[in-house]
Amino acid sequence: MRTTSVGVFKVATKGPGDVSGLISLIGSGAIDPASILAILGKTEGNGGVNDFTREYAVAALCTALAPKLDLTPHEVEQRIAFVMSGGTEGVLSPHITVFTRQQVATPHAGIAGKRLSIGMAQTRDFLPEELGRSAQITETARAVKAAMADAGISDAADVHFVQIKCPLLTSERVEAAAARGAKTATISAYSSMAYSRGASALGVAVALGEVASDISDDVVLRRYDLFSKVASTSSGIELMHNVVIVLGNSEGSASEFEIGHAVMDDAIDAAAVMSALKSVGLGTTPKSGRELVNILAKAEASPDGTVRGSRHTMLEDTDISSTRHARAAVGGLIAGLAGTSAVYVSGGAEHQGPAGGGPVAVIAHLP
Amino acid sequence: MRTTSVGVFKVATKGPGDVSGLISLIGSGAIDPASILAILGKTEGNGGVNDFTREYAVAALCTALAPKLDLTPHEVEQRIAFVMSGGTEGVLSPHITVFTRQQVATPHAGIAGKRLSIGMAQTRDFLPEELGRSAQITETARAVKAAMADAGISDAADVHFVQIKCPLLTSERVEAAAARGAKTATISAYSSMAYSRGASALGVAVALGEVASDISDDVVLRRYDLFSKVASTSSGIELMHNVVIVLGNSEGSASEFEIGHAVMDDAIDAAAVMSALKSVGLGTTPKSGRELVNILAKAEASPDGTVRGSRHTMLEDTDISSTRHARAAVGGLIAGLAGTSAVYVSGGAEHQGPAGGGPVAVIAHLP
Amino acid sequence: MRTTSVGVFKVATKGPGDVSGLISLIGSGAIDPASILAILGKTEGNGGVNDFTREYAVAALCTALAPKLDLTPHEVEQRIAFVMSGGTEGVLSPHITVFTRQQVATPHAGIAGKRLSIGMAQTRDFLPEELGRSAQITETARAVKAAMADAGISDAADVHFVQIKCPLLTSERVEAAAARGAKTATISAYSSMAYSRGASALGVAVALGEVASDISDDVVLRRYDLFSKVASTSSGIELMHNVVIVLGNSEGSASEFEIGHAVMDDAIDAAAVMSALKSVGLGTTPKSGRELVNILAKAEASPDGTVRGSRHTMLEDTDISSTRHARAAVGGLIAGLAGTSAVYVSGGAEHQGPAGGGPVAVIAHLP
Amino acid sequence: MRTTSVGVFKVATKGPGDVSGLISLIGSGAIDPASILAILGKTEGNGGVNDFTREYAVAALCTALAPKLDLTPHEVEQRIAFVMSGGTEGVLSPHITVFTRQQVATPHAGIAGKRLSIGMAQTRDFLPEELGRSAQITETARAVKAAMADAGISDAADVHFVQIKCPLLTSERVEAAAARGAKTATISAYSSMAYSRGASALGVAVALGEVASDISDDVVLRRYDLFSKVASTSSGIELMHNVVIVLGNSEGSASEFEIGHAVMDDAIDAAAVMSALKSVGLGTTPKSGRELVNILAKAEASPDGTVRGSRHTMLEDTDISSTRHARAAVGGLIAGLAGTSAVYVSGGAEHQGPAGGGPVAVIAHLP
């Protein structure tokens, strides 16, 4: 029996602090604020350590939603999962995607097949020295399974995108660890973002059976043949635990949406993007009435320094970080194939898809 | 009668000073150095005012070719047209494309249709205050016509790409003008690159009848509805005149190559890229034996701040110049559709294609 | 009779959203929130068009102060003047400086000389096409005089720093003007910051009699021999009018602080910094008991491309904007001479001090 | 007996490829090209991995000097030590400093005290996995001793600046090591620059007895209490061995120049800069006839994230690398105290002076 319904709303923003679109949708009754489970956003920052647009966006959303939910801003932040991915390089357009979940009293008749479902869970807080290491992998795997259960999904094949928000190291955190005699995986804040994203993605891979469950610290950022096909991890300064959001399809959902995915083998894998579109009835000859809602993808500079045999310069650029380059390029490709630049392309795809590639998921609205 | 043959060689580089690939091709006899007419390159710099990779690449090529041509490096620079476009953002891969032209003694039998032809010309040196204004437009138009004649092309419809190398303003040049009481179009070096590119493109449009010939200074960087569909202009600090290279197809050519083009209406116009590929028998179902040599395209951030209705942030970014953003995004799209990241995507498409779009040309090797 | 007292509190911040230091001072009773007149801050952003740390900091401060003042956040923003200068390049340390003003019942005995006084005023909202032009100059001059009166200062010689917060142009604003048939001073958002800062500074110069009052549009960003020795202007996206804060010394003040200033003739004018320190009894041999509170200075890349005869590269750098370069360099010098890196050095000194130089003011706490 | 004379010539450059100043000095007879031992330069690039201005400057100098020395450009590069430090942030002005050494037939009468002396040596080529580790430390120490001998200096106290040019890792080099089963100190090109600079500086410290000679790999980039007070190391992509240049004073020199140094304890240590100036008779009250030639200094962002108790943001900035921030700030301070912005401030001071500080040497011309 279909007991839940999941809604997806893509809302353009005019700046990281702009909440007017969401507030309008709440005002018009299109969104019941109490049903909001998660908000994924693309914000204008650099996506790096000093990207304050992420926390600014979250602060603005929490402040705006607080009176709607009769909570304090801090309580809103505890209740809703906010994942802000900084960096709208190239054509990428700042926006938020709001996911809602509600119980359905009387499901629509005539729903066939599995429909979009969403589940959430989180890990405990990590110590700085646990980031990028097996503790983060194991705890994340556990949270992924909990989120699948929350989404009413039992088959790993029905999981199409696992978004994780994970911590990073700052000078302060590195020193706090050092003061206890503990050595962090790296002393660089920027590098720690990669470690945290990588270990979190391996946690997804462990949970979904994509890799063996007994993997060690050593593989993080080294064994790029180990990866998840659906993990998307994003590190931010504002938390010390992992928040896991599972997106998939479920028989128990009465949603008007469906999700599918493919894996880009490299940063110019147009075929994979087309395949992901086709998996939900879109693509060159879309099924009648189906409409694209959003594309969720990860991008990275291939660590071997080449794309399909040609040298790239993303990893040797001291002016622009490689994550910015990768988002711009993959964003350009996906926007071109999707026909819209308001897509969610996030950087840093360590262990998320093969080296240099990444997962690409598509959410379609069904007629 | 087919009297000339034009060759095209795409050579990967390991850095702006790397000439080893070209020297190998000369050593093996594949390229006769005396036949080299022009070299277009993508180099690793930022494509901005302080992009020294362009002049470094030219210096390295001149020094390497000098003994092969029995000339001084300076004489090589006078003889061959070097157009280095800085900026290999995203997946773009540094490379050079070498164009050769030779007289053919006995043309291959069975050549049908028009084949790749190339012609060159240059303007006089400009005064700083002429950049971005009608003097630059008019002189460029004259040089385009001379280059067409040099290419053996009389019909504007046979012109598929006009590459122009044009000057920019530096503090010194602005002051030199001011000392004479002359006011330059802008006092910013960075802005002057746009003015120079724009006026040069309008010169192409005038020559090819795409716009009226009596256009005034005022339209430059303002009337973006006036543009050329085949102009590609690139500004650099190293010269004070315009160098014009016309690429088209001609009955008089016995080349093994063909060129075609389309116009991207915006930065995510995948259909235009496919159309350009199809125009030379490539695309989703390529004609037997045809192979892609290179794609030559221009990219820019649309001046109205949107891409197909969605806001972009390229023009408001103080960390990364909009030309870098645009090259990265359009480069990602073209590389995805072409299957290779060694493509020539150059930034700053003022009056080169519609606002936010740009020309895209494809060179194919025929069986 | 000394009727007012002005307090100055420098508070380190841990990020643009960090209000904990200020809230602590309020909690301890050191600051009466009702007495807060203005807050000047250095935030972590790039100081450019897309520097969202400024508005984030203001939003965080307004949200935090609202319950303390029994106002809405929006009302707080109307009541207190917030001037956030983005960009803590080099050694510069993020912090806020809180200015308070209160009536004094019984002034301290034995106060000699003039003491720190502060006054505020604001202009009407500007139209986009008024920015950088005489309307902005004239309205600003009027507001400066009103702020002097508010500060109880009648002699221009007693004015030591005039901080102005002014608007900038965005694509939207440029288009809004164009839709009305009006042409803005520039179409570039980044360039508009310079125009707005320049015209605002000239407004100060007019008010203080440093330049003639009938200056025309043409001088803005061209006649750099026209400038104010005490103006400091900072442009931000969040407003469309100018906010003027006058800092000086007044007989009517019972403050424990004193302010003085000097003018840096170029970006390496160490002597001027020492002179400013000495003007309030600091410097190499400080008067007993006097302590440095903060230094307020403006920095810019000299428009002629040189510093004391040697070429600089700030204006030709496409990777880093010249304002960032200038803040880093001048911030390094001032921090070295002051012995602290928590100083307020703001970029973009058009018509604020001579070309390439800028005003430098020092606030000292008296024993 | 004074058998050698060392000359120092500071020459402004107009760009990384500008050799006109040096060629003029050779043309006028001021410099005998055969006497050129080393050229230190500040070039316009970013000082990072993709800073091609360094190799461009070297290529231009070698090409220009080749006919003067009757050598090939490659032979010139083998003969003269070229150390190009990329990054002229803030006020820093691009220039080269040419060091010459000649035998003197009849020394000037009346020379008292030790005078400027220079010596050189180099290590063997390193394997990628040796960079940042004890092999690099040990080999560098050996080369420093050889260079001291070459300079005629036996007392470590007479050594005032040891400039080292050292390699970095590229993707290719990391992979070459990995292919042999060897693990490099880091896989990031940018990070490898720090490792290489750090190990090289420790090599100087070992040679001069500043640290124990049996230090292990582990201390590199971790034990910042171990450092040399005179080491200045600069990493570049163009070599795989270390080149060592020792600058000091010697009884055997008949030079018109003298060198001295001090150590900056942090990035705002104005007193140390003054002390270095005083050590060669300059400073606030310079000895009669003495003139500043150049200041050679190293700068870095203090790894603990603070400068004299105030937080800095250099290490958390994803837009601008910390080395650029540090050069800009320290360059501003030194230029202010020296009265000229044509000074040699190089970034990345790992184990060169205390953490966050660095050596500062001054060369004076004597009357």
pLDDT tens-place string over residues A61-90:
999 999 999 999 999 999 999 999 999 999
Answer for the pair D94, D254: CB distance below 8 angstroms, yes or no. Answer: no
Mark yes or no for CB contact D56/B319 under 8 Å. no
Percent of chain C with pLDDT over 70: 99
Note whether B50 contacts C189, CB cutoff 8 Å: no
Q: Return mean pLDDT, chain D.
A: 95
Among the partner residues B47, B172, B318, nearest to C50 by beta-carbon distance: B318
CA distance C128 to C169: 7
Residue B80: per-residue pLDDT? 96
The band of D108, judged by pLDDT with boundaries at 50, 70 and 90, is low
> Best mutation site among B49, B54, B307, B316 for testing chain C: the one with the most C CBs within 10 Å?
B316
Q: Is B136 annotated as a binding residue?
A: no
How confident is the model over D43-71, as a mean pLDDT?
Answer: 96
Q: Is the pLDDT of residue C214 over 90?
A: no
User: How buried is residue B277: exposed, middle or buried, by Cβ count under 10 Å (0-12/13-18/19+)?
Assistant: buried
Contact D52 B44 (CB under 8 A): yes
Torsion, CA B123, CA B127, CA B132, CA B133, rounded to 10: -90
Confidence class for position A239, pLDDT limits 50, 70, 90: confident
Residue D106, pLDDT > 80, answer: no
Does residue D104 have a pLDDT over 90?
no
Chain-chain contact of C46 with B319 (C-beta, under 8 angstroms): yes
% of residues, chain D, pLDDT over 70: 99
Give catalytic status of residue A234 as yes or no: yes
What's the whole-model pTM score?
0.95
- Give the Cα separation of C193 and C201 in Å (integer): 12
- Could you say which DSSP state residue C340 is in? -
Torsion over CA: B275, B280, B283, B287 (sign): positive
Number of C-beta neighbours around residue B222 at 10 A: 14
Residue B17 has its nearest CB partner, among D50, D55, D319, at: D55
CA-only gyration radius of chain D, Å? 19
D55, D222, D316, best to mutate vs chain A, most A CBs in 10 Å: D316
Quick one: pLDDT at residue A43? Answer: 97
Residue D85 in marked binding region? yes
Q: What is the mean pLDDT of chain A?
A: 95
Cβ atoms of C140 and C204 closer than 8 Å: yes
User: Which of A60-74, B146-160, D193-207, D224-238 shows the lowest mean pLDDT across its residues?
Assistant: D224-238
CA distances (Å), origin C304, targets B236, C181, C271, D43: 21, 34, 22, 20
Q: Which residues on chain B are in Cβ contact (under 8 Å) with D63?
A: 59, 63
Specify whether D165 is catalytic: yes
Give yes or no for B15 touching A (CB within 8 A): no
Q: Tell me what the mean pLDDT of segment C43-70 comes to.
A: 96
Chain B residue whose CA is closest to C183: B222
Query: What's the pLDDT at D107?
Result: 66
Query: Any CB–CB contact under 8 A between A333 and chain B?
Result: yes
- Return the higher-pLDDT residue of C343 and A284: C343
Confidence (pLDDT) at B358:
97
Q: Which of C93, C310, C313 sits opposite D310 (nearest CB)?
A: C93
Computed from CA positions of residues C59, C65, C67, C71, in that sequence, does the dihedral angle turn out positive or negative? negative
Substitution target in C44, C49, C50, C52 with the highest count of A β-carbons within 10 Å is C52
Q: How far apart are CA D244 and CA D122, in angstroms?
A: 6
B vs D, Cβ pairs < 8 A, gives 40
CA gap A309, B183 in Å, rounded: 49
Chain D positions in Cβ-Cβ contact with residue C340 (cut-off 8 Å): 268, 308-310
What is the set of domains in chain D, with CATH numbers?
4-106 (3.30.1330.170), 116-246 (3.30.1330.180), 256-365 (3.30.1330.160)
Q: Give the model confidence (pLDDT) of A117-161 as tens digits.
A: 999 999 999 999 999 999 999 999 999 999 999 999 999 999 999
C45 shares contact with chain A (CB less than 8 Å): yes
Q: Which residue has the higher pLDDT, B254 or A111?
A: B254
Per-residue pLDDT of B296-310, as tens digits, reads 999 999 998 999 999
A-chain CB neighbours of C50 within 8 Å are: 44
A304 vs chain D: nearest CA distance in angstroms? 7
From chain C, pick out residues whose CB is under 8 angstroms from the CB of D339: 268, 308
C213 touches chain B (CB under 8 A): no
Does the pLDDT of residue D152 top 80, yes or no?
Answer: yes
Residue in D closest to C335 by C-alpha: D268
Q: Which residues of B are catalytic?
A: 165, 234
pLDDT at D283: 85
Q: Do A312 and B273 touch (CB under 8 A)?
A: no
Question: Chain A within 8 Å of D321 (Cβ-Cβ)?
Answer: yes
Statement: residue C107 has pLDDT above 70:
no
Q: What's chain C's average pLDDT?
A: 95
Q: What is the nearest CA distance from B39 to chain A, expressed in angstroms? A: 19
In the set D10, D42, D114, D165, the catalytic residue is D165
In this model, does residue C169 exceed pLDDT 70?
Answer: yes
CB contact at 8 A, A87 and A47: yes
Closest Cβ–Cβ partner in D88, D94, D328 for C328? D328
ipTM over cut 0.90: yes
A45 touches chain C (CB under 8 A): yes
CB nearest B190 (choices: C171, C189, C318): C318
Residues in Cβ contact with A358 at an 8 Å cutoff, skipping those fewer than 6 apart: A232, A263, A264, A297, A298, A299, A300, A330, A349, A352
Q: Which residues of chain B have pLDDT under 50?
A: none
Is the CB of D139 inside 8 Å of chain C's CB atoms? no
